[in-house]
Amino acid sequence: MSILNVMWAGGAPFASIHKVHQQILAQAESSSPIKTWLLQGTASGCEANVGEIREWRLSSARLKGRHFWRLAKPWMQAGFRHALQDSEAHVLLLDGMGVARALLPILKSMPHVRVVVIFHSSTRLSAADKLLFQRFPAAQLKMTAVSNTLAESLSRSLQLPVLALRSAYDPVIYRTEALSRDDARARLGLPLDSAPVLGTVGRLVSKKGFTCLLDAFAEAVRRQPDLRLVIIGEGPARSALEAQVDRLGLRGNVSLPGHLNDAARLYRAFDWVAIPSREEGLGLTMQEAVMAGVPVLSSELAVFREQLAGTGWYAPADDVKAWSDLIVRAFSVPAESVAAEQYQALAPDQAWQRFSRTARALLS
């Protein structure tokens, strides 16, 4: 049984989505050949092993049929149809709504191909989108989401079943690969002493809430001047965030090292991890931090409560005062006991078993 994994884009900004697909594909039978299409971007920066890769290098406007490209859409779809037939794929794994819009119209005439659509975040669904899904029999099309919260929301909107496939890692492998505190701090150029460090990992875009985090951190530094903040990631908001750091006089307290291929191994450099997101489909940073034994501060989002319940330390998204108070309070308590409570709530060993069983059932 051959599997075709179709991703909206390649490159470092989409590394976390590729990691989720890699974890799913790892559950396929060892004899199943796997290939990946990247509709946009390149394979550069995608550390995940997702099989043989084809780069289509299509623009967003062309994929969405905007302007002139609306007239050229039949030719693009004909190219996809020919390539799908040549692939001889039995199962297609589609990355979200954008890929579904591009390929599902073609797959309706290929009933022998089973399709699994993975939703990674909330998305605006039109009447045409809903009709597109409703035209497929349940035996051919399965829809999944990376959290229970997201699955329930999409199911209400589509009026169709959406399976929760909460992303997870093998915690034994993850803990083995994580660097020690000193090694991780050395990798990030941080002092090896007891200097308190707050860390976060994510794409530098507005929905991640880093603007609020910096304002809150500036207030916290006034009360605890030795605090440090590390924001690992890259994205279009970098220049604005760097300007904000300078405006707040935080150049000596804040570092933005960019995208790091080994970011998932570096959490032990931090005493606490902050996730100030305005919205999330799941938030892999939360899982990675907790598995590394580092406690988490997060926005008050349903998807985060789904994972940490009452052990989470929450503040409303974009509430600078609440976030500042939360940061200061966090560095006044023993982090180890909070980390242990959050690990028990997340239950990564059981989560990995559930994820593996569900992924195998989807691909079998």
Domain ranges of the chain: 3-165, 171-348
> In angstroms, rounded to a whole number, what is the distance separating the alpha carbons of residues 167 and 21?
9
> In angstroms, rounded to a whole number, what is the distance separating the alpha carbons of residues 270 and 339?
12
- Roughly what angle, to the nearest 10 degrees, separates helices 15-25 and 348-363? 70
Q: What is the pLDDT of residue 246?
A: 97
Q: What is the pLDDT of residue 46?
A: 63
> In angstroms, rounded to a whole number, what is the distance separating the alpha carbons of residues 316 and 268?
26
Residue 116 near residue 99, CB atoms below 8 Å? no
3-165 against 171-348: fold identical: yes
Give the CATH fold of the 3-165 domain.
Answer: Rossmann fold (3.40.50)
Using DSSP's 3-state secondary structure scheme, residue 194 falls into coil
Residue 295 near residue 226, CB atoms below 8 Å? no
Q: What is the pLDDT of residue 267?
A: 98
What whole-number percentage of the chain has pLDDT above 70? 98
Residues 6+ apart with CB under 8 A from 240: 211
Q: What is the pLDDT of residue 10?
A: 86
Signed CA dihedral, 27, 164, 298, 331: sign only: negative
Q: What is the pLDDT of residue 16?
A: 84
Q: What is the pLDDT of residue 66?
A: 83
Residues 6+ apart with CB under 8 A from 233: 200, 201, 202, 203, 204, 208, 256, 258, 259, 263
Bridge partners, 145 (sequence order) = 119, 164
When the pLDDT of each residue in the chain is averaged and rounded to a whole number, the result is: 93
Q: What is the pLDDT of residue 42?
A: 84
Give the CATH fold of the 171-348 domain.
Answer: Rossmann fold (3.40.50)
Burial 170-195 (b: 16+ CB within 10 A, else e): bbeebeeebbebeebbebbebeeeee
Q: What is the pLDDT of residue 312?
A: 97
Report phi then psi at 124, rounded to 5: -85, 120
Single pTM value for the model: 0.88
With CA atoms as reference, report the closest residue to 251 among 275, 276, 272, 221: 221
Residue ranges in the chain whose pLDDT is less than 70: 45-50
Q: What is the pLDDT of residue 206?
A: 96
CA distances for 180 relative to 11, 187, 199, 271, 323, angstroms:
28, 10, 15, 12, 28
